[in-house]
Amino acid sequence: MLVRARRMMVWLGCASVLGLSGIARAESEPCPCSTSNQSVVSEVPCLIFRASVRCGLSSVRNACAQTVTLVDWPLSSCSDSVCTQALAPGDEAGFIFGREESESERFVEQSYTVQVDGVDQRLAISAEVTCKDVRDSDGCAAAPGALGVAGVALLVGAVARRRRGA
């Protein structure tokens, strides 16, 4: 019984030192803005949108059976401010939505044009945007180090008991 307890302490110590102490990793900056209550008014219901403000890009995915052309959109792939791009079925494009304003809470609505079978159709995307100051947090990476220290303490305790013959 005592041998099992010692083995368990050694095993937990090794697991803490080797396995859990490597958890620390770099993460991307937290996003200061979030969108909610997104709404799309469109005569092309098979276009799927995700609106994002100030972090990442908004996206549009063509779930239609035919090609849809985005006419004069602020696409991320544009070298100018706007460009036109054809989206085949299943294709996706990133675009910039609502970044020109910097208020902490606002309602953003922007209109775009799509072309289906040669016919221009308007659509509007709107969302409530909330932005807040994001500050760096202190000490977040300390937890994996603490786990490593706990593992070393378990190992040292097990070795010391074994040498004492207890």
The residue-averaged pLDDT of 99-124 equals 85
Helix (H, G, I), strand (E, B) or coil at 18: helix
Residue 138 within any structural domain of the chain = no
Residue 27 within any structural domain of the chain = no
Predicted local distance difference test score (pLDDT) of residue 138: 45
Residue 97 within any structural domain of the chain = yes
CATH code, 120 = 2.60.40
Tokens of 162: 């074994």
Strands 105-116 and 68-73: antiparallel
Length of the chain: 166
* Sheet containing 47-50: order of strands: 47-50, 58-62, 92-95
Asked if the model's pLDDT at residue 151 lies above 80, the reply is: no
Q: Are residues 12 and 87 in the same domain?
A: no
Q: Which structural domain, as residue segments, surrounds residue 14?
A: 1-20+152-166
Say what the pTM is.
0.58
Predicted local distance difference test score (pLDDT) of residue 101: 59
Other beta carbons within 10 Å of 87 = 18
Residue scoring higher pLDDT (81 or 2): 81
Provide the domain count of the chain: 2
Residue 143 within any structural domain of the chain = no
The residue-averaged pLDDT of 114-138 equals 81
Residues of the chain above pLDDT 90, percent: 26
